[in-house]
Amino acid sequence: MLLRAPAVPGCDKPLAVTILFGYLRRSFLLVACLLGASCENPSSSSGFTPYTAIYIEPADFRGGVLCSDTEGSMQSYVATLYDVSSNDPDNVVTVASSPPLPCSAPAIFSQVIPGHFYIATLDAYQEPACAFGRYEPAGCLVPAGGWGSGVRTQLVSTGIGVPPTSAYASPAWMTHCGRLASTGETGKGEEEGGKAGADDKGSTEETGAGGQRGPFYRYDPKGPTEAVYRTSARMGGCEPLPAPMGPARVVIRAEALRGQFSCGQESGKIARFEVIGSGEAPRLVDCGAEAWFKELPPGQSFEIQVFAFEQGSSGPRWGSRCSARTFAGQTSAARCDPLSERGSLRLLGAVLCEDASTYRATVVGLLNSSALTACPADLVLPDLPAGLLDVTIERRDSAGTLLDGALCTGKVQPGQQTTATCSW
């Protein structure tokens, strides 16, 4: 069965041209509407004119797949819109495919007809999308028919264009929006969301029951989204992508490690790092390299201590803490605090608050470093110089009467929080 493009009343421009020249303008208008600009009243002071559109939010179908530039994650997707207003599986109309979009950006279709009903398929890729109208960097995705063509098939750019020898891109996952139901095979795992076949090149033709590429052998008529005049309708009924399986990985990008500092052998520059993951042994990482942690359990917060060394130094000058949430079969990029020469000291209320209502801590040898804390809360003393520090403690009862004192000691490390030990 061949899929045909719809005739749009009052529009004499080819669909591809309309998509090409209306894409950026309409994307801006839709974002403005979503952020709260008045899109209901044509005479509003905002100056925006309401328009009819259907949009798809990636968060509605990503499921357990990360949106990231890390290994195993989704970086881009292509949405294909279908008009199913006829309620006839043999008369499904392909409207158009979006250009390749970043995994965080909505797909917006304004070539829809009020009162018509629409569903969509989503092809998710591990390759990034080229910026609209461009072909770099190498390895990003461009439509096989050119920008604005509305073609579903994607090619891998060479960085300077898409010659005839360009490779076809295969979706890593495929799913749909529209709460489709099937009484026959649909192939490629599209019906319930799944990992795409390695040889799938994104054809838009259907070949009938048992071998059709599209999931339209049967559909639920209650599932499609209706286009409403002068309304941006969010498409529903999206089937989440299945989460990958296997151990998790975490990476600290080189720029996240060094932050605002530079690599080098001179004073004030970083020569190397020492990184310590939760439950792991310390390891050295050259400045400018990435730090990887593999074979991690998924579904946990993975904490990492980072220490930065100058050339020839045996002790760290700067430090920070990084963390990432781990996901099965995927790589998470850790986020790091800025590198700092100073650290903090934590005092445990559970240790200091027995029979006391408050306690006052004073760092020995430092001005303006005293703090009164109500029990049973912990106290964190921030912005302390690195080194071994003593803290005197005064414990008082609810009437403010001094009970006794204590001495706490802790070794402050750059960019870290150390828990002090206390004695009476």
Which pLDDT value is given to residue 49?
54
Residue 117 contacts residue 101 (beta carbons within 8 Å): no
CA angle 419, 280, 257 (to 5 degrees): 80
CATH 4.10.280 fits 342-423, yes or no: no
What is the predicted pLDDT for the residue at 195? 54
* Tokens describing residue 63: 């499921």
407-418: pLDDT as tens digits? 999 999 999 999
Matching residue, tokens 């828990």: 419
Instruction: Compute the average pLDDT of residues 56-62.
Output: 95
What is the arithmetic mean of pLDDT over 124-140?
Answer: 91
Query: Rounded distance, CA 54 to CA 134, Å?
Result: 25
Q: What does the pLDDT look like over 14-34, one tens digit per residue?
A: 333 333 334 444 443 333 333
At residue 91, does pLDDT exceed 90?
Answer: no
The residue extents of the domains of the chain are: 1-244, 248-336, 342-423
Highest mean pLDDT among 26-30, 155-159, 381-385: 381-385
pLDDT at 135 over 70: yes
pLDDT, mean of residues 228-253: 91
Q: Do domains 248-336 and 342-423 have the same CATH topology?
A: yes
pLDDT score recorded for residue 192: 41
| pLDDT exceeds cutoff 90 at 182 | no
What is the CATH code of the structural domain delimited by 248-336?
2.60.40
| pLDDT given for residue 161 in this prediction | 74
Of 382, 384, 390, nearest in space to 409 by CA: 390
Burial of 29 (0-12, 13-18, 19+ CB in 10 A): buried
| Residue 88: predicted pLDDT | 79
Please give, one letter per residue, the 3-state secondary structure of the chain: CCCCCCCCCCCCCCHHHHHHHHHHHHHHHHHHHHCCCCCCCCCCCCCCCCCCEEEECHHHCCCCCCECCCCCCECEEEEEEEECCCCCCCCCEEEEECCCEECCCCEEECCCCCCCEEEEEEEEECCCECCCCCCCCCCCEEECCCCCCCCCCEEECCCCCCCCCCCECCCCEEEEECCCCCCCCCCCCCCCCEECCCCCCCCCCCCCCCCCCCCCCCCCCCCCEECCCCCEEECCCECCCCCCCCCEEEEECHHHHHCCCCECCCCCCECEEEEEECCCCCEEEECCCCEEEEEECCCCEEEEEEEEECCCCCCCCEEEEEEEECCCCCEEECEECCCECEEEEEECHHHHCCCCCEEEEEECCCCCCEEEEECCCCEEEEEEECEEEEEEEEEECCCCCEEEEEEEEEEECCCCEEECEEEC
Region 295-324: mean pLDDT is 95
User: Which token pair is 131?
Assistant: 């910026």
pLDDT of 11 strictly over 80 = no
pLDDT score, position 162: 75
pLDDT at 190: 38
Least confident of 41-55, 112-126, 192-206, 231-245: 192-206
Q: Average of pLDDT values for 335-352?
A: 95
Least confident of 153-167, 179-193, 237-251, 313-327: 179-193
Q: pLDDT value at position 27?
A: 42
| 191 or 362, which is more confident | 362
Percent of the chain with pLDDT over 90: 60
Residue of higher predicted confidence among 45 and 242: 242
How sure is the predictor about 424, in pLDDT bands with cuts at 50, 70 and 90?
Answer: confident
When pLDDT is averaged across residues 336-361 and rounded to a whole number, the result is 94
pLDDT reading at 213 higher than 70: no
Comparing CA positions, the residue from 96, 45, 32 lying closest to residue 232 is 32
More confident residue, 121 or 210: 121
Can you say how many angstroms the Cα of residue 301 is from the centroid of all Cα atoms in its chain?
A: 16
Q: State the average pLDDT for the chain.
A: 80
Q: Averaged over 227-251, what is the pLDDT?
A: 91
**pLDDT tier, 309 (very low <50, low <70, confident <90, very high otherwise):** very high
Q: Residue 167: what pLDDT?
A: 84
The predicted structure's pLDDT at residue 211: 32
